[in-house]
């Protein structure tokens, strides 16, 4: 069955790969699944046809036959469950490793990403507010608290728990949002970790595909 995902007609980042369809593209490239892309405008995202697919009016969505999913974490997990390459298998010896890899997916999305998005919101959506200059160091401090802990856990390892997994795919994707801020440079092992993710052929193909849309 054909897999169809949605992506921004024009990404707000102009093709830096920060829109969430890149995460889904990356997962599909890692497991070698072809996919089609339906581009949606900001206006269309808030209309009934798209809201039926995605109740929060965002991208990406994922359609495969009768199945329609939204929420990047769920889509990446679905891909990882159905195809080898992103999670240790269900078999007895690897069940614990599988549960730990899934843990890192949730950690990326619920513990590391929220302060990073808050920093982006403070900079972009509240950039012109009178309080922002004084407030930014507070918000950045919350990001640094998380990065310090993550850096300590990663140590000198290549990936968060054994081999590359969907947990790393998600964590690298979340950390990439910090690149332009320069904050990541203070945590060399995290910067190297992100670079390791970007160097994967599957990531490169995903990045190129979203860039092509945004530079048409």
Least distance (Å) between residue 114 CB and its own copies: 4
CB 97 within 8 A of CB 160: no
Least distance (Å) between residue 52 CB and its own copies: 9
Pick the closer one to its own copies by CB: 107 or 209. Answer: 107
- Between strands 61-64 and 3-8, the pairing is antiparallel
- Between strands 61-64 and 67-70, the pairing is antiparallel
Place of tokens 């203070």: 186
To the nearest 10 degrees (0 to 180), the angle between helices 113-124 and 166-176 is 20
Least distance (Å) between residue 61 CB and its own copies: 10
* CA–CA gap between residue 170 and residue 165 (Å, rounded): 9
Least distance (Å) between residue 196 CB and its own copies: 19
Least distance (Å) between residue 68 CB and its own copies: 8
Pick the closer one to its own copies by CB: 14 or 141. Answer: 141
Q: Angle 38-65-29 (CA atoms, 0-180°, nearest 5)?
A: 55
Pick the closer one to its own copies by CB: 102 or 194. Answer: 102
Pick the closer one to its own copies by CB: 22 or 214. Answer: 22
Of 147, 73, 141, 145, residue with least CA distance to 109: 73
Pick the closer one to its own copies by CB: 20 or 25. Answer: 20
CB 166 within 8 A of CB 105: yes
DSSP state letter for 18: -
Least distance (Å) between residue 206 CB and its own copies: 20
First to last CA, the chain: 28
Pick the closer one to its own copies by CB: 126 or 198. Answer: 126
Residue numbers at the binding site for its own copies (CB under 8 A): 51, 55-58, 66-67, 69-74, 77-78, 96, 99-100, 102-103, 105-107, 109-111, 113-114, 117-118, 126, 129-131, 134-135, 138, 146, 149-150, 152-153
């Amino acid at each position: 069955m054909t897999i169809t995902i949605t992506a921004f007609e024009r990404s707000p980042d102009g093709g830096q790969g920060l829109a969430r369809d890149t995460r889904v593209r990356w997962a599909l490239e890692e497991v070698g699944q072809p996919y089609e892309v339906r581009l949606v405008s900001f206006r269309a995202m808030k209309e009934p046809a798209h809201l039926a697919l995605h109740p929060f009016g965002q991208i990406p969505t994922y359609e495969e036959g009768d199945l329609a999913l939204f929420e990047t974490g769920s889509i990446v997990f679905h891909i990882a469950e159905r195809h080898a390459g992103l999670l240790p298998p269900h078999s007895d010896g690897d069940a614990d490793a599988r549960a730990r890899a899934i843990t890192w997916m949730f950690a990326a999305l619920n513990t590391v990403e929220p302060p990073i998005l808050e920093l982006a919101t403070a900079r972009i959506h509240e950039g012109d507010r009178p309080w922002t200059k004084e407030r930014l160091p507070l918000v950045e401090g919350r990001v640094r608290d998380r990065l310090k802990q993550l850096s300590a856990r990663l140590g000198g390892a290549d990936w968060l728990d054994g081999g590359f997994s969907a947990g790393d795919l998600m964590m690298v994707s979340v950390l990439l949002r910090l690149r332009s801020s320069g904050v990541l440079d203070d945590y060399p092992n995290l910067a190297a970790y992100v670079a390791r993710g970007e160097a994967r052929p599957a990531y490169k193909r995903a990045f190129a595909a979203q860039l092509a849309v945004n530079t048409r």
